[in-house]
Structure 1
Amino acid sequence: MKTYFNPRTLLTLLAASIIIACSSDDNGGETPQPKSDYKGELTNTANNVITETYKTLNDRALALQAAVNDFTIGDDADFETVKTAWREARSPWEQSEGFLYGPVDTEGIDPAIDSWPVDVNAIDALLASSEPITATLLATNDDARGFHTIEYFIWGLDGFKKSGDLTEREVEYLKAATADFQSKTQQLYDGWKASGGNYAANFINAGENGSLYTSQVLALTELVDGMITIADEVGNGKIEDPLNGNGGNAKPEAEESRFSHNSKKDFADNIRSIQNVYLGDYAAVSGKGLTDVVTANNADLNTKIIDQIADAITKIESIPGTFTNAIANNRNEVASAQTAVKTLQTTLESELKPLIQNLK
């Protein structure tokens, strides 16, 4: 079969090639690339890391409340159950401090749960009064409620309170404090879960109508800012103040969770909060996280961040004895842990955040 050449076909092809060339020139000679989609990372982090951490916190707050309600003055076994329940509730809270945005901030839940130091004078005044102690009453003073008020009643100022040392009035206060505490953890969890306030949807639907974040990059940047904030607080506040707060010397009264000697666990869990958000992992769930975004753009930086997180946790946990003792007698080890946290903070600020902000 013969093939005949049609002059009109040539004109059509030439016109098409000119249009394509002009389109290419208008974009700097390259066809624009579609924007990357980070919905998977944002969805996993919001649902399986942040919301699940708050669920764990609330579940353990309920267990703490039950343990306090079951406590009988003088029963050592009951008292140990209360102490264990407090420690178990403390861990997910500290692991949530890498994302102190949303309801925990806007609804004033953070100070209601975790104000420090405790207002001992206000507590003593209330104990000495004849006024019934209720959760509603305690809600009027953040410094006399929450984790550290409960800790104060369980361990005492010296950390050695015994089950028989509590009075009926103190138990009344303790029950009100745990009821108030659990109401705030419930409020926090409800604020994030899909069947409640669904704050998680702001991350999941970032860049879409209805989300607080006008782009996925802004939502990812919020995650990074939360990580930076807690690294700064641990290195320059939680460790620095008790280590050097007395003119370069130890200031034990500035140590958070010192009644229970839980400080080192607090700090390590704060860094685990960074780890969980970065890796997209929590409990038995392992999903997409910032690590996947960074690996695709700078694999060396990803390795660096993972290693620095692990190093900070290891150095905190390697501080000998209690933190109270270490700030006086093992200052070099404490300073080494502090340096590891600050190094991580610098990397998050100077390398991770710019990478995320420059994503397309």
Structure 2
Amino acid sequence: MNKTFALSLLATLMLISCSDDEVSNTPTNELEVAKSKFVNNYVAIVEASYNDALSKSEELKTAVNAFVAAPDAAKLEEAKKAWLAAREPYGQTEAFRFYNGPIDGDNGEPEGYINAWPLDEALIDYVATGTGGQQTSDDRQNIVNNTAKYPTLTKEVLRNISGYNDNESNVTMGYHAIEFLLWGQDNTAPSEKKAGQRAYTDYTTAANADRRKQYLQLATEILVEDLASVANQWKSGATYRKEFLALASNEAIDKILTGAAKLSKGELAGERMTVAVKNQNQEDEHSCFSDNTHRDIYLNAQSINNIINGTYKKVDGSTISGTSLLDVLALVSTSESATLKSTSGTVMTKVSVISNAQFFDYQILGETIDNTQKPIMSAVSSLEKQGDELAQAGKSITGKNIDPSV
């Protein structure tokens, strides 16, 4: 063989080989880079979301302390407004669950202390005769009024009572315990479109007013402490954050999409919406004392949407934005990415209808679980579809199966 020809042929073969390597390796490298950026952006969103939730809980604590120091109608309204404001960022953290992270480890804590529902309000304070699931709704049976059984109220006492007898409705702390202490039972008919009507005099002239004040303050302090415990684990340099970022990208993404898929299909569409429609009972709505469930639903959906689109709008108005799930998925399947984008947009449109209508207990009247043409069950159908698509996205990206039910 001619030496010059041989060298030319060798160079050509090497060029072809390099070109083939570039064709096969470049997409893989691009995908891996996108995965890493997505995980890092997710962590930034999680950190900002929990920091906002903690900040607003601290503002709630300030408002509660001001009310307790000198109870009147105006200060009670301010405390309620602070509670509602605190729910806005927290609702957008709900997709960060279901994978044994800082919010809900092996024992389901501290999430069970922060956001447990539905709760049996008869355990905490007085209720209307015949309501509540305790042995009796007699005032002497609840924590506020039973001075013999609970002579001293402390954070430890409230934590120890929570969930006693393995009953998940025995909730003594968290957002919804505070909600009940601020609004009281909602004994109005759904058609009245009113929330609970607790009077500020429950904290002045009513029996055991001082204990009620103390309970409200303790529950709020516990909420702040528990949120801080979660937020701190996502801060820069924290052990859990380091461990999460050190995971293989596929393992981290599996966790991320497990949380999002389970919230979308199992928890939000199922436990928080379908159950309420099926039972036609306002006690099954998430925030039944304040009638804030319409916002809970929207914000929970938004928490999933934040992951899908890689953005989060902080309470100060600034925005975190980076590589999204859609960006990563498009590198694997453009059709799946386009479908998920469309579905997630539909979800937000439908939950916006629920949010704008308000008074979820009124909205469920007349709906049935088999009629997906009505607003709530229509949103449920889209959330279920989104949950399935998120699970499929996880499989397409990581090769792992995700069960979107809870």
Same fold by TM-score, threshold 0.5 exceeded? yes
What is the CA RMSD across the aligned residues, in angstroms? 2.8
Distance in 2, matches of 1:31 and 1:110, equals 45
1:157 equivalenced with 2:157 (yes/no): no
Q: Secondary structure at the match of 2:117?
A: coil
Distance in 2, matches of 1:18 and 1:307, equals 45
| Structure 1 segment 187-266 matched on structure 2, within 5 A | 187-197=229-239, 199-204=240-245, 211=246, 213=247, 215-232=248-265, 233-245=267-279, 250-266=280-296
> What does the per-residue CA deviation read over 1:27-78, in whole Å, with 9 as the maximum and x for residues that have no partner?
99x965554322211111112x111101001111111111111114542221
1:133 equivalenced with 2:168 (yes/no): no
Out of 85, 89, 92, the position equivalent to 1:92 is 89
Contact 1:271 / 1:313 at 8 angstroms: preserved in 2?
A: yes
Distance 1:157 1:31, change over 3 A: closer
TM-score by length of 1: 0.83
Distance in 1, matches of 2:285 and 2:63, equals 26
Residue 324 (structure 1) aligns with: 361
Distance 1:291 1:202, change over 3 A: farther
Contact 2:312 / 2:321 at 8 angstroms: preserved in 1?
A: yes
Structure 1 stretch displaced more, 235-244 or 67-76: 67-76
Distance in 2, matches of 1:179 and 1:231, equals 30
Question: Which runs of no fewer than 5 residues in structure 1 stay unpaired?
Answer: 1-5, 205-210
Q: Secondary structure at the match of 2:291?
A: coil
Distance 1:163 1:317, change over 3 A: farther
Distance 1:202 1:306, change over 3 A: farther
Contact 1:56 / 1:92 at 8 angstroms: preserved in 2?
A: yes
| Structure 1 segment 38-187 matched on structure 2, within 5 A | 38-47=35-44, 49-72=45-68, 74-100=71-97, 101=99, 102-106=101-105, 108-124=109-125, 125-127=142-144, 128-129=146-147, 131-140=151-160, 141=162, 143-158=171-186, 159-166=196-203, 167-187=209-229
Deviation at 1:315, TM superposition (A): 1.7
Q: How many residues align?
A: 335
TM-score by length of 2: 0.75
1:334 equivalenced with 2:376 (yes/no): yes
Contact 1:280 / 1:289 at 8 angstroms: preserved in 2?
A: yes
Question: Which runs of no fewer than 5 residues in structure 2 stay unpaired?
Answer: 126-141, 164-170, 187-195, 204-208, 314-318, 369-373, 401-406
Distance in 2, matches of 1:31 and 1:317, equals 44
Identity value in percent: 25
